[in-house]
């Protein structure tokens, strides 16, 4: 079966719905999203935490659409253009503000659908989260083992539940291992190509309303970041798990291409930038 892996990452997209932080007007939303200090913090999270995993996927056959508005201020729009220009898996989609967020998500993703695919593996990715270096490879492999269920239903979710919650508070880094159900990151919604939806069309906490789901609890597959700019600022329900003694640094490096010291520096830099009236530069 020909499977396309197609994701959507919203980078400060200017729309009125689709987020937990509400605003009464486009002007209020624009002022909030396009605040220069906030944008620089989001860029730091994106480039430090989210991007390394996508640049080093063991299976490079995927597309991640970066969705933002055509009026995203410089230098951030230019940075996104440059990044997507040199990484073929990343596709920049500039979408005008829309009242209906799911319509905007569909507009961003639709041009990148593979008409030859028999199944589309839709996934959402927040710009401050991370997936493991083998997320795409593992998803293809594990989906192959449950294809009969997908063929029978035409829809299927495949969730990797083992992750790390990274909190950046007051300049300090805290890492909490958690096993979660349908957290949203490292969660793939497989649809037939004739279904004009994206992963965001389905509330990830209520997927059982629309499709059967399979959860795989090993290996470690995601990082979810929690900080002052998070759309949702808590860990949510889940179960604890304990890495082997002294294994955290190795897990971060081997699974995500990240180093604990770099994450600790990020937490400290964001705090110092906030205390000083702005975040530091991003290279």
SS3 string of 211-238? CCEEEECCCCCEEEEECCCCCCCCCCCC
Residue 193 lies in a domain: yes
Report how far residue 220's alpha carbon sits from residue 132's, in angstroms, rounded to the nearest whole number: 7
pLDDT (tens digit, 9 = 90+) per residue, 222-239?
Answer: 999 999 887 666 788 999
pLDDT of 102 over the 90 cut? yes
| Cα 82 to Cα 76: distance, rounded to the nearest angstrom | 10
Residue 275 neighbours by CB under 8 Å, 6+ apart: none
Pair 48, 128: CB distance under 8 Å:
no
Give the angle 164-271-127 at the CA atoms, nearest 5°.
45
State the pairing for strand pair 239-240/90-94.
Answer: unpaired
3-state helix, strand, coil in the chain (%, to 5): 35, 25, 40
Residue 40 CA, distance from chain mean position: 18
Residue 179 covered by a domain: yes
Which of 48-62, 161-175, 242-256, 266-280 has the weakest average pLDDT?
266-280
pLDDT category at 23 given cuts 50, 70, 90 is low
Please give the residue range of the domain that contains residue 149. 3-275
Q: Which tens digits make up the pLDDT trace of 184-202?
A: 999 999 999 999 999 999 9
Percent of the chain scored above 90 by pLDDT?
A: 84
SS3 50: helix
- pLDDT recorded at residue 275: 53
* Total of domains in the chain: 1
Position 117 pLDDT exceeds 90: yes
Q: What is the CATH number of the domain that holds 107?
A: 3.90.550
Does residue 159 sit within a domain? yes
In a domain, residue 280? The reply is no
For residues 65 and 109, what is the distance between their CA atoms, to the nearest angstrom? Answer: 7
How far is residue 153 from each of residues 47, 146, 158, 160, 211, measured CA to CA in Å?
A: 38, 11, 14, 20, 7
Identify the residue with better confidence: 15 or 55. Answer: 55
Residue 281 lies in a domain: no
Q: Which residue from 127, 131, 235 is spatially nearest to 176, judged by alpha carbons?
A: 235
Cα-based angle 235, 46, 74 (whole degrees, multiple of 5) = 135
């Amino acid at each position: 079966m020909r499977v396309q892996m197609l994701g959507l990452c919203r980078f400060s997209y200017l729309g009125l719905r689709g987020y937990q932080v509400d605003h009464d007007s486009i002007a209020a939303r624009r002022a909030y999203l396009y605040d220069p200090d906030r944008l620089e913090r989001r860029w730091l999270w994106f480039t430090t935490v989210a991007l390394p995993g996508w640049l080093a996927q063991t299976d490079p056959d995927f597309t991640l659409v970066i969705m933002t508005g055509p009026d995203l201020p410089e230098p951030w729009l230019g940075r996104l253009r440059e990044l997507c220009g040199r990484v073929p898996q990343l596709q920049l989609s500039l979408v005008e503000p829309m009242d209906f967020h799911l319509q905007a998500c569909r507009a961003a993703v639709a041009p990148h659908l593979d008409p030859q695919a028999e199944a589309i593996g839709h996934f959402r990715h927040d710009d401050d989260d991370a997936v493991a270096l083998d997320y795409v490879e593992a998803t293809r492999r594990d989906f192959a083992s449950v294809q009969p269920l997908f063929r029978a239903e035409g829809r299927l979710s495949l969730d990797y539940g083992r992750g790390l919650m990274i909190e950046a508070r007051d300049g300090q880094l805290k890492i909490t291992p958690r096993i979660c159900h349908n957290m949203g990151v490292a969660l793939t919604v497989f649809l037939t190509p004739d279904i004009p939806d994206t992963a965001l069309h389905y509330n990830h906490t209520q997927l059982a309303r629309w499709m059967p789901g399979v959860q795989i609890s090993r290996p470690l597959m995601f990082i979810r970041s929690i900080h002052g700019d998070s759309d949702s600022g808590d860990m949510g329900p889940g179960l604890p798990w304990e890495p082997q003694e002294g294994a955290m640094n190795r897990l971060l490096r081997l699974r995500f291409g990240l180093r604990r010291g770099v994450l600790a520096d990020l937490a400290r830099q964001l705090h110092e930038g906030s205390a000083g009236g702005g975040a530091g530069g991003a290279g």
